[in-house]
Amino acid sequence: MQKLWNRNFTILTIGSFVSALGSFSSGISFGILIYRETGSPLTLALFTVANIIPRMITGFLAGPFIDRHSRIKIIYMLDFVTAFSFMVVSAILFSGFFNVIIFTVLAAFFGVIDTIYQIAFMSLFPEAIPPGQHSKAYSIASIIWPISAAIISPIAAYMIENFDHGIALLMAFNSLMYLIAAIVEIKVNIKEVLNNSPGKRLQFIEDLREGFKYFRYEKGILGIGILFACFSFGYAAHDLLTLPFFMTSNVFTIQDYSFIITASSIGRVIGALIHYSFSYPPEKRFVIAIFVYFIVEAINASYLFLPFVFMIILSFTIGFLSVTSYTIRISATQAYIPSYMRGRINSTHNLLWNIGTITGALVIGFIAQYTNYDYRIIMLIGTTISIMAIVVIPIRMHREFKKIYNAKI
């Protein structure tokens, strides 16, 4: 068996980690900036939607393009663009200027850039993985974001609470991280498997049609996309209101919020390290995934009602279990989907998930803005959508899901 840590896998992993450090710092900064300046959960929801709608449209349109062009060049060129863009944002914030409309437009722009990058990266990454090493590889991939979150979230919270230009400094840091990532990623050397079928008039439409045709006979792949669209509704409720819950509390602080993120991130890291050393039996993966889905949603619905120490413990548990779900799903689907189809299928999945997130953000944002419900009650309502989806989709479609989740990879 070939070793996992070959040159290309190492470069892609390092580049992804470096950019994730910066990306998380800017992500938490944007959320705090918008809510601090407006005090409105609906405005925060609309800001989120403004970031997602361009992702939805771009992802849907970019899939055929990514399948036909070098993913390596797309990745490092977009990182250079992002590095320059965040340096401009940092300069704007250092000047003291803030306008919610302008920052919403910026969110839309970064949504476009990040969507193309993510689809290109997801489509390229399997090409760097040696045969038989997919489970280990995606275990490593699954800890990149949580390690970044665990490192950056308490630092970001401290800087925002204690420095006049803390958010501007974090944006400058993000710019530097993307610049480093781009320089590293130029060194990737993979013989890419692209869609080289002869082009026709309206080839873009033909490529999209071929992608949709794939779902006709791979209903499990379509089911996974729909399931996680429903999950995205519940995640939107949680992601939208957890920060305002802590910022409006008389008991908790932004620093406490950062500790919740760190606990979840540490749980993900430990879970991923276990996955790296231990692989679940293929025939058990579907059952394990269903069990994890139920447990994670039940905890998400309830843990903010508990004392802070239990919030920390359960947030850690969510992270620990979520990485199991992620590793099973991503390694199974990306190994299952043919390389020349990944751009289109991944972009369609992203489209479905973004629809779920947009719907969740808008519905939950309106409820939070115009009712007096406790934010935790609203999150509980959002989670019921996810729990119902588990029963309706993967359990009912267990044969189609098992064919993908339980495949030997």
Does residue 274 have a pLDDT over 90? no
CA distance readout (Å), 208 to 63, 177, 203, 211, 346 = 8, 34, 9, 5, 12
- Predicted pLDDT at 200: 54
Does residue 203 have a pLDDT over 70? no
- Predicted pLDDT at 199: 54
Instruction: Choose among 79, 85, 97: nearest CA to 172.
Output: 85
Q: Is residue 330 part of a domain?
A: yes
Confidence of residue 314 (pLDDT cuts 50, 70, 90): very high
Instruction: Choose among 51, 32, 302: nearest CA to 170.
Output: 32
- Predicted pLDDT at 87: 95
CATH number, residue 207: 1.20.1250.20
Q: Could you report the per-residue pLDDT of 104-145, keeping only the tens digit for each?
A: 888 888 888 888 888 888 888 888 888 878 777 877 887 787
Burial category of 378 from C-beta neighbours within 10 Å (exposed 0-12, middle 13-18, buried 19 and up): buried
Q: Is residue 259 part of a domain?
A: yes
Burial category of 338 from C-beta neighbours within 10 Å (exposed 0-12, middle 13-18, buried 19 and up): exposed
Q: Is residue 2 part of a domain?
A: no
Q: Is residue 193 part of a domain?
A: no
Q: Is residue 388 part of a domain?
A: yes
The domain in which residue 153 lies consists of 7-187+203-405
Does residue 8 have a pLDDT over 70? yes
Confidence of residue 180 (pLDDT cuts 50, 70, 90): very high
Instruction: Choose among 185, 233, 217: nearest CA to 389.
Output: 233
What letter represents residue 346's amino acid?
N
- Predicted pLDDT at 289: 92
Does residue 227 have a pLDDT over 90? yes
- Predicted pLDDT at 346: 78
Q: Is residue 197 part of a domain?
A: no
- Predicted pLDDT at 304: 92
Confidence of residue 91 (pLDDT cuts 50, 70, 90): very high
Q: Could you report the per-residue pLDDT of 182-200, keeping only the tens digit for each?
A: 999 998 888 877 776 665 5
- pTM reported for the whole predicted model: 0.71
Does residue 245 have a pLDDT over 60? yes
Confidence of residue 339 (pLDDT cuts 50, 70, 90): confident
How far is residue 393's CA from residue 405's CA, in Å, rounded to a whole number? 14
Does residue 82 have a pLDDT over 80? yes
Q: Is the dihedral of CA 126, 129, 133, 136 positive or negative?
A: negative
Q: What is the mean pLDDT of residues 326-336?
A: 84
DSSP-derived letter for residue 96 is T
Q: Could you report the per-residue pLDDT of 15-52, keeping only the tens digit for each?
A: 888 888 888 888 888 888 888 888 888 888 888 888 77
**pLDDT over 90, % of the chain:** 28
Q: Average pLDDT, whole number, for the chain?
A: 85
Q: Is residue 75 part of a domain?
A: yes
How far is residue 361's CA from residue 300's CA, in Å, rounded to a whole number? 16
Report the greatest alpha carbon distance in the chain: 63
b/e code 96-123 from CB counts within 10 Å (16+ = b): eeeeeeebbebbbbbbbbbbbbbbbbbb
Find the helix packing angle between 166-185 and 71-94, rounded to 10°.
Answer: 160
Indicate the range of 81-85, 192-196, 264-268, 362-366 predicted with least confidence: 192-196
- Predicted pLDDT at 80: 95
Written as one string, the DSSP assignment of 313-350 is HHHHHHHHHHHHHHHHHHHHHHHHS-GGGHHHHHHHHH
Q: What is the mean pLDDT of residues 56-82?
A: 83
Q: Is residue 153 part of a domain?
A: yes
> Among all chains, which residue has been given the structure tokens 């699954």?
142
Q: What is the mean pLDDT of residues 253-265?
A: 89
- Number of structural domains the chain divides into: 1
